[in-house]
Amino acid sequence: MRICPVAAGQRSRRRPMLAQTGAIHYPSDMDQQAALDAFSALSQETRLAVFRLLVAAGPDGMASGDIGERLNVRQNTMSTNLGILLKAGLVRRERDGRNVRYHADHAGISGLLGFLLEDCCGGNPELCQPIIRQLSCT
């Protein structure tokens, strides 16, 4: 799965930096507790399905009712699951008239990936290249 924002001719993603040791360093604003919250949110089947659906939906996101219909989940259950993903920083919401649209939060996703890959490969950046290629939007 590739996670990269695609907005009207715009591409913004964090690039890895080479640390003094030669290891690839992914800057991350995420701490361990935030990473645990994100993993906890994704460790439930419905929430993982919602997250993947929103990543696939791209910059347009989806209305909460449409998400529930697509996944065959009752609205009150969907609302609870979206709230957990929102609190974990993996999705964001915006009001669209009377509806609420949800989007994958690329800053949160980048933070989680940065946390996981921080100081990657212990001074052997060539070991990280397959991971970087898999996550690349190119």
The domain spans of the chain are: 31-132
Q: Calculate mean pLDDT across residues 120-131.
A: 77
- Write the CB contacts of 13 (distance below 8 Å, at least 6 apart in sequence): 4, 5, 106, 110, 137
Backbone φ, ψ for residue 131 (5° rounding): -65, -45
pLDDT of 104: 97
Fold of 31-132: Arc Repressor Mutant, subunit A (1.10.10)
Each residue's pLDDT tens digit, 31-61: 889 999 999 999 999 999 999 999 999 999 9
Mean of pLDDT over the chain: 80
